[in-house]
Amino acid sequence: MKVLKGQDILALGFMTFALFVGAGNIIFPPIVGLQSGPHVWMAALGFLVTAVGLPVITVVALAKVGGGMDALSSPIGKFFGGLLAAVCYLSVGPLFATPRTATVSFEVGVAPLTGESPLALFIYSLVYFIVVLAVSMYPGKLLDTVGRFLAPLKIIALAVLGIAAFALPAGSIGDAQPAYAAAAFSKGFSDGYLTMDTLGALVFGIVIVNAIRSRGVESPRLITRYAIIAGLIAGVGLALVYISLFRLGATSHDIAADATNGAAVLHAYVQHTFGSLGSGFLAVLIALACLVTAVGLTCACAEYFSQILPLSYRALVVILAGFSLLISNLGLTKLIMFSIPVLTAIYPPCIVVVGLSFVKDLWNSPTRILAPVMLVSLLFGMVDAIKGSSLAHVLPDFMAHLPLSDAGMAWLVPSVVTLVGAVACDRMLGKPREALA
């Protein structure tokens, strides 16, 4: 029976970590650290629950069913499960997340050096997606290209930044903004939830499992074990990155007190700490972070759609990379404007399908439980999405004041109530007829 060597398991863990850490993960924690002030570690604790805990749990859930999101959503039927999977893959793939990796890395790392002209963005994104295309063409070698080469480079760059954050603080800790002063943990919890890493985990599950299979491992038990280990390694790595970036942001008050986003905090810190090399260092770090994430998303989407469309994996890689190139040239502002409502709507049912997958054997019919709870979570997720868009005025007043609505989780209470009702109905109805036959 084929097993992985220790160095392969480590490379798999590095690859999983590198797939998760995109530019958003790097630029978001510093602003939370800056704005939470003396409450930074309580905010960090809440953030880690949703930005690290949920993605790792998702990797574990997918490993148990073989890596595919369609298997995870099978209780709601082939059509609806496939529809949910397709929407997730498209959203965190060529429609939003993959193009955004190029635009974020350009605006954070390159635009300060070249200017934000459309031509500069096009040239950068063209080169960027040519590299993504070249690496994604060989998914069987992903463990070598990402796990052994790109991931270590990315980890070294993050380690330099993390060590500097603790060894070379830029200044003192400032005052906390009111939201963090009032409820640091819950604010950090909702901040981490909005990173949307759980959606990324749903997409990367198949990439991780296929990387294991590329080494000749066929045992479902071993594939699950290795995927869980990889998820835990990635979780530890993510936690260390976030903690160092919280520290960086919290001690940057003297040099970035008026910053409105994490990119500005990072720019100020690296310029203060590393001098003229700061911008170049940040450009390399962000480019590496985004490139690895883009490769993982492209491989995952091509792998999934090659199973349901009459197109080969390689043809889909070319199509996805080309489409992402076109979308990326719309610019970061438009991408974020379009993506946030969609991602906010589909995130809740994805959390539901992951969370309930661990206890599905407790019920007579998983379909009776999963279908209504996912539907309710989607409907109230759409309320959150509309509330955060330009159409917020169409919502009745009471919908703007639902429980946990301020934290972007208006879906949670209705979903729990629906779950209780669905479990009660499942107990009363008993085993489905086909199960009794």
pLDDT of residue 437: 39
pLDDT tens for each residue of 124-163: 999 999 999 998 998 777 667 776 777 788 788 888 889 9
Percent of the chain with pLDDT over 70: 95
Domains and CATH numbers, the chain: 4-350 (1.20.1740.10), 358-430 (no CATH)
Mean pLDDT of the chain: 85
- The model's pLDDT over 325-344, given as tens digits with 9 standing for 90+, comes to 999 888 766 776 777 788 77
**And the tokens for 283?**
């450009």
pLDDT at 14: 87
Q: Residue 303 pLDDT more than 70?
A: yes
- Residue range 173-211, pLDDT digits in tens: 988 888 899 888 888 887 887 677 888 888 888 788 888
pLDDT digits (tens, 9 = 90+) for 236-269: 999 999 999 999 999 999 998 888 778 788 888 8
